[in-house]
Amino acid sequence: MRITCNRCGQASDALTQPPMPTALGGEIQASICPACWREWLGTQVMLINEYRFNLMDPEARRTLEGQMRAFLKLPSQRPE
């Protein structure tokens, strides 16, 4: 499947599978190229280390997801 990446704007093959088994994973697969996803993975590690996120904490996971959405230029999640 070919996509146009939300972040870099380049046409590319999609990720071969969703990076996570959620609706967000499908959204990422449908709109983010593998190169930008790899770049996010590196940035994610830096953020986790710099801010000392405890990923067992739901608030830390929400914050990290917000950072990911901003980095990948995905729409903000609507409040539930």
Local confidence pLDDT in tens for the 80 residues of the chain: 899 999 999 999 999 999 999 999 999 999 999 999 999 999 999 999 999 999 999 999 999 999 999 999 999 875 54
d(CA 8, CA 43): 16
How does 37-62 read in b/e, with b if 16+ C-beta sit within 10 Å?
bebbeeeeeebeeeeebeeeeeeeee
pLDDT value of residue 38: 98
How many degrees, rounded to 5, is the angle at CA 23 between CA 51 and CA 59?
Answer: 25
Q: What is the pLDDT of residue 76?
A: 83
> What domains are defined for the chain?
2-72 (1.10.3880.10)
